């Protein structure tokens, strides 16, 4: 008996594969023209985007989503501006396709060149951030890849509106219309089918909660690039500017607590804890942040509302206004704690001592490590990548924010003059 949904997903995958063979050989100008058309489409359809996003926001409130999750879902004018800016930044970036990574002539006269090429078809699976639809479509187009987008039910109206804008832009361009496709249903069965399409899809990138990412990684026949969660740590060293540390800690937790580069653990050196923690705690509690503390921090903050931290708390991605606090006795203890409980995403040290900073930067095992800056900068746009397809904590192929070059692989081109064996 035939399965209509399986047939539909297979048809989408086949059309994406066909489109990838075409777009992989498109010129830089053709790709940039399509990106500009999408940017113009977004600018001229702001009213539509806001109206459709409002439907998603209303459903989110009705279904009791947290304020942090609703914030991820919300399309403000500033975020729409950011999507347009990201597309136009992509236009200005060099085309990664065709770059010669290495070239050599062998003793037998063969010229062997290692050339950057698109991956092919990339499936992006994401949840409640509708701007991902535009960011990922743009990155895939510029890097010569076809994309299959599968958003979450929370953002279905926003995603469909954006997909319609992309489709119209592609119809007016020289690129294949099927270069970007949105799976029209959020049924889990559709995702299950997509994960089996290894004949047509070459890479899956999941973006969302740990449960979704683990499901994809455990059930996909297609290679997956991922990060399970963003348990980011901020360490305040004994030798540091406490005013700077205070500002960075508050903004890194409370600015947008529902994103993966917000801090979840604050690690403080014991010799400054009594001076630093009370002044920080006042700011955090005034902003509604729950403080989850180890025994030492709890005794220092006895005048503030706190709850005791467990081992599980230190390894949890809260994505909310909650912060775990750990007091340590040394830089080595801080590094050991972060390597034990961090997720390999982004970690930061606040210190005035260069030598101690360098020890931290070299010893902490994460895709991005910072000195005197917020972990919130782990972002493709902030890194000058023109947005990002995702953040990888894997060790193979890509690590950290993934931009255009990370969406490419390579092949060898060999030129001879009659050699044989």
Domain membership of residue 420 (yes or no) is: no
Q: What is the domain range of residue 74? A: 4-225+402-415
390 occurs within a structural domain: no
pTM of the model: 0.84
Determine the pLDDT at residue 1: 36
Same domain, 296 and 250: yes
The predicted-structure confidence for 240-250, as pLDDT tens digits, reads as follows 999 999 999 99
Query: Following DSSP, what letter does each residue of 214-253 receive, concatenated?
Result: HHHHHH-SS-B-------EEEEE-SSS-HHHHHHHHHHHH
* Sign of CA pseudo-dihedral 124, 203, 14, 188: negative
Sheet containing 180-182: give its strands across.
Answer: 180-182, 146-150, 121-126, 203-207
User: Domain of 18: which CATH number?
Assistant: 3.40.605.10
Number of folded domains in the chain?
A: 2
- Do 262 and 205 sit in the same domain of this protein? no
**Range scoring the smallest mean pLDDT among 1-5, 132-136, 339-343, 359-363:** 1-5
Same domain, 87 and 182: yes
Are residue 220 and residue 253 in the same domain, yes or no?
no
Residues 22 and 157 in one domain: yes
Confidence of residue 3 (pLDDT cuts 50, 70, 90): confident
- Whether residues 362 and 296 share a domain: the answer is yes
Q: What is the pLDDT of residue 84?
A: 95
Q: 96 CB contacts (<8 Å, ≥6 apart)?
A: 116, 142, 143, 404, 405, 407, 408
Residue 391 lies in a domain: no
As a whole number, mean pLDDT of residues 296-321 equals 95
Q: What is the mean pLDDT of residues 46-72?
A: 93
Q: How would you list the strands of the sheet with 306-308, edge to edge? A: 306-308, 290-293, 322-328, 263-269, 232-236, 346-350, 368-371
User: 206, 224 in Cβ contact below 8 A?
Assistant: yes
Domain containing residue 343: CATH number: 3.40.309.10
396 found inside a domain = no
Q: What number is the average pLDDT over the span 231-242?
A: 97
Indicate whether 209 and 335 sit together in one domain: no
Least confident of 14-18, 114-118, 174-178, 394-398: 394-398
- Domain membership flag for residue 421: no
Tell me the average pLDDT across 251-258.
93
Give a yes or no: residue 63 inside a domain.
Answer: yes
The answer to whether residues 22 and 147 belong to one domain is yes
Q: pLDDT class for 386, splitting at 50, 70, 90?
A: low
Q: What local confidence, expressed as pLDDT, does residue 394 receive?
A: 85
User: pLDDT averaged over the chain?
Assistant: 94
Residues 202 and 242 in one domain: no
Same domain, 181 and 294: no
Say yes or no: 294 and 241 in one domain: yes
Q: Please report whether residue 384 resides in a domain.
A: no
Query: What does the pLDDT look like over 313-354, one tens digit per residue?
Result: 999 999 899 999 999 999 999 999 999 999 999 999 999 999
138 plus 285 within the same structural domain: no
Using CA atoms of 241, 244, 250, 256 in order, give the dihedral in degrees to the nearest 10. Answer: -140
Q: Is residue 409 part of a domain?
A: yes
């Amino acid at each position: 008996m035939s399965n209509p949904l399986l047939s539909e997903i297979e048809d989408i995958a086949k059309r994406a594969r066909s489109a990838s063979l075409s777009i992989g050989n498109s010129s830089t100008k053709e790709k940039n023209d399509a990106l500009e058309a999408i940017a113009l489409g977004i600018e001229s359809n702001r009213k539509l985007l806001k109206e459709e996003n409002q439907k998603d926001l209303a459903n989110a409130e009705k279904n009791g989503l947290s304020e942090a999750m609703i914030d991820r879902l919300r399309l403000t004018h500033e975020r729409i501006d950011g999507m347009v800016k990201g597309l136009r930044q992509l236009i200005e970036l060099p085309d990664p396709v065709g770059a010669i990574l290495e070239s050599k002539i062998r003793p037998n006269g063969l010229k062997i060149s290692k050339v950057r090429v698109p991956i092919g078809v990339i499936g992006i699976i994401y949840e409640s951030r509708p701007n991902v639809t535009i960011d990922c479509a743009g990155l895939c187009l510029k890097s010569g890849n076809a994309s299959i987008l599968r958003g979450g039910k929370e953002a279905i109206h926003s995603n469909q509106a954006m997909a319609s804008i992309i489709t119209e832009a592609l119809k007016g361009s020289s690129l294949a219309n099927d270069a970007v496709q949105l799976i029209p249903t959020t049924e889990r069965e559709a995702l299950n089918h997509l994960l089996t399409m290894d004949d047509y899809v070459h890479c899956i990138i999941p973006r969302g909660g740990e449960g979704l990412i683990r499901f994809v990684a455990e059930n996909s026949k297609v290679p997956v690039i991922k990060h399970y969660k963003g348990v980011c740590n901020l360490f305040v060293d004994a030798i540091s500017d406490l005013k700077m540390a205070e500002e960075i800690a508050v903004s890194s937790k409370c600015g947008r607590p529902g994103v993966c580069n917000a801090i979840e653990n604050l690690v403080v050196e014991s010799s400054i804890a009594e001076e630093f923690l009370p002044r920080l705690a006042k700011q955090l509690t005034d902003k509604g942040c729950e403080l989850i503390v180890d025994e030492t921090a709890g005794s220092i903050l006895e005048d503030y509302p706190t709850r005791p931290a467990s081992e599980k708390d230190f390894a949890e991605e809260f994505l909310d206004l909650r912060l775990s606090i750990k007091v340590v006795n040394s830089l080595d203890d801080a590094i050991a704690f972060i390597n034990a409980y961090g997720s390999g995403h982004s970690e930061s040290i606040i210190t005035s001592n260069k030598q101690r900073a360098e020890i931290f930067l070299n010893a902490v095992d994460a895709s991005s490590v910072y000195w005197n800056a917020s972990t919130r900068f782990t972002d493709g746009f902030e890194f000058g990548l023109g947005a990002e397809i995702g953040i990888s904590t894997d060790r193979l192929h890509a690590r950290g924010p993934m931009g255009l070059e990370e969406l490419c692989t390579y092949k060898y081109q060999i030129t001879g003059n009659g050699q044989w064996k």
